[in-house]
Homo-oligomer: A and B are copies of this chain.
């Protein structure tokens, strides 16, 4: 039995140690089929362990089929329990693509809320309350559309703040807006069908709809959002995708005339409007705008998210569907991942119901308005007439246009070398080449001191570029 060893200092139980060594030797063919294992009594004596330990190890091997017991004559290695070894590839993983740590970089990434101001205390308390106080059925499987508590709170909140007309039954809670895009793509896109879509529009959304088999029909955008005059005459698209409250990336707000044009077009062609309303709660001029959905609830699929008003880490978004689409959409959600996490949904429902969400949005609006104002002032201070600012009435980013600068890859690399990151509008275009002078500057997660420092770095970088 020299070939078996026991390590009494190891955390691995003795049974497991014996089992593993025998298993390996059988798998590797060192103990061939038909080989008779020592009796449990003998092995126990040799290893100085209790006989039960060996018995348990043998039982385990027996249960997995490595050995077989023959009445009265002992335990034998079974046929067919030897596996030819392939080479062990130890360092088989691709090198981790970890960039150098650049803690000092000021990142004007868009769509990130102020992470340091997440209402962690209230959220933590509510999460604990949900976990400890809710009826235990909460911990079971749930409905694909999500918790009724959250859908009810949401319907009330959206009517009050966004003019959205819906009943809780029309809402499906999704894993962020991203899953909403994916499921809507699955729901409505047939292979090679067109999607009419603003151009430019979030790059990832293009990728998702294309992955569903769509070809994208770009509709140009100006400072007032989608130019609806560009809607094609005789089209039968899968749907029309639009960000009417705050066009991404250019920042315009769609005026009522274009909204009506869209609704009439949708009615005439019998297609749905998909309204992505990602950050319009943060409107700095006047009260919040009404949703497109409120104009034509029967023709609009409305997508919302808590990523900008609360935190993207929650992965909670939602879709509001016209009744004929509800059943199939629920089914698609079910087949994707059954439903959204219940505890988090309930925590959010309480967060809304107890008024924390509206307070948080109110507070954050002031913070973001301040950041926006500082950003604008700093841009004008540093660049004067060389910069034009667009789309600053709403949301967590502005578009800055520099007539004298082309934001080529090389220019962006230079900017990055100066310890500041900005994002080209061209990244989000379908028809390329019209926005080389435009960059996106997100200010949600950048405080005022960093904004000032970031823009002076940008200034220095831009001097080098020209």
Cβ contacts under 8 Å, A141 to chain B? 112, 312-313
A63 at the interface (CB under 8 A from B): yes
Cα A341 to Cα B139 in complex, Å, equals 17
Q: Give A318 Cβ to nearest chain B Cβ, in Å.
A: 13
Cβ contacts under 8 Å, A256 to chain B? 26-27, 64-66, 78, 80-81
Question: Contact at A176–B207, with CB atoms within 8 Å?
Answer: no
A255 at the interface (CB under 8 A from B): yes
Question: Contact at A287–B167, with CB atoms within 8 Å?
Answer: no
Cα A341 to Cα B431 in complex, Å, equals 35
Interface 9-residue window, one of A122-130, A270-278, A367-375: A122-130
Question: Contact at B115–A140, with CB atoms within 8 Å?
Answer: yes
Q: Give A441 Cβ to nearest chain B Cβ, in Å.
A: 18
Chain A contacts with B in 235-270, Cβ cutoff 8 A: 253, 255-258, 260-261, 263-264, 267
Cα A146 to Cα B277 in complex, Å, equals 26
Q: Give A455 Cβ to nearest chain B Cβ, in Å.
A: 22
Cα A123 to Cα B59 in complex, Å, equals 36
Question: Contact at A315–B338, with CB atoms within 8 Å?
Answer: yes
| Interface flags, A305-336, vs B, CB<8A=1, else 0 | 00000011111100000010011000000011
Most chain B Cβ neighbours within 10 Å, of A131, A170, A296 = A131
Question: Contact at A342–B313, with CB atoms within 8 Å?
Answer: yes
Cβ contacts under 8 Å, A82 to chain B? 260
Q: CB within 8 Å of B: which residues of A?
A: 15-16, 19, 23, 26-27, 56, 59-60, 63-66, 78-84, 86, 89, 92-94, 96, 112-113, 115-116, 118, 120-121, 123-125, 127-132, 136-142, 167, 169-170, 174-176, 178-179, 182, 204, 207-208, 211, 253, 255-258, 260-261, 263-264, 267, 285-287, 289-290, 295-296, 298, 311-316, 323, 326-327, 335-344, 445
